[in-house]
Amino acid sequence: MAPLGQMSDYEIRLVRIFKTVVECGGFTAAETALGISRSAISQHMNDLEGRLGFSLCQRGRGGFSLTEEGKEIYQAGLTLLTALETFKSDVNALHHSIKGELNIGITDNLVTLPDMHVTHALAELTAPHHSVAVNIHMEPSDAVIRGVMDGHLHVGVVPAVNLPTSLETRLLYDEPSYLYCSVDHPLFDLPDEAISAVQIASAPAIAPRYPLPSNARQAHDTLNPQASASDREGAAFLILTGRFIGFLPEHVAAQWVAAGKMRALHASTQHYRTPFVLITRHDRRPNRVVNAFLSFLKQPG
């Protein structure tokens, strides 16, 4: 008899039947457990013995008993079936547990946005049943874009401005910005109706040195730039001096507005919106951590 080759699904089924017969103590008792007739069980046992090349049990008037080979096959069958169950459990666990790391680049001052899409997705990704290391890189948008393109970063969050076509984008936030002055500025105590367009256009203002959409650039073009800032936090510093007016995202300015230290000027006309997107490479390699993070992100309402 040739050695047993690769086992088929049918042969594994025969081993399961044999295990049940042994544990039930015979063919008759196994009928109910298996839900098949005694003659069908007998045929399956004959098939298994034929494939293995030796007798597994004695059955007849003297009752049911295992041969020495049958005892060995029963133990080997337990090992096989246990391994199969372990494999199935491990595979199923992979669907519920995620392992690896996520490298994400984010531009400045997004954490105070009221729609916390990134925060909520990171909370899902780092739940106790997962094992994910999250590495956040706070960088200017051009550095985030470069990081995603060269593979240093898995994903990035940047304004949707001048993005390479090799990147895939998903809208996360539509950020409103308004023109602000601080409590120490001459315009702070004047009502909007007492502030003319000429006063706004002539007041020293802040020019941004960070990427902005065209509508934002147009809003800045009407101002009188006397200082510049490389990011929104820098603009806030300059506004709080009381010497300059400048645009800030509403969520960034909210803490100073609530404290009575800033106010928006002509909010109905002096405003613009900046879309922020999550970026990935079009040709990125399959990655379960990244795919899970993307699935946890909620689209803006």
Return the percentage of the chain with pLDDT > 70, whole number. Answer: 94
Helix (H, G, I), strand (E, B) or coil at 292: helix
- Summarize the confidence of residues 232-260 as an average pLDDT: 97
Say yes or no to pLDDT of 301 above 50. Answer: no
Closest CA to 23 of 70, 83, 88: 70
Domain 9-94 class, CATH top level: mainly alpha
pLDDT number for residue 299: 47
Instruction: Tell me the C-alpha to C-alpha distance, in Å, between residue 191 and each of 195, 196, 199, 241.
Output: 7, 10, 13, 21
CATH of 97-301, one of 1.10.150.80, 3.40.190.290, 2.30.30.240, 3.40.50.720: 3.40.190.290
Tell me where in the chain the CATH 1.10.10.10 domain(s) lie: 9-94
Q: Please give the mean pLDDT across all residues of the chain.
A: 90
Tell me where in the chain the CATH 3.40.190.290 domain(s) lie: 97-301
Q: Residues 97, 102, 104, CA angle at the centre, nearest 5°?
A: 145
Q: Which residue has the higher pLDDT, 49 or 258?
A: 258
Q: Which residue has the higher pLDDT, 8 or 266?
A: 266
- Summarize the confidence of residues 200-220 as an average pLDDT: 94
Say yes or no to pLDDT of 97 above 50. Answer: yes
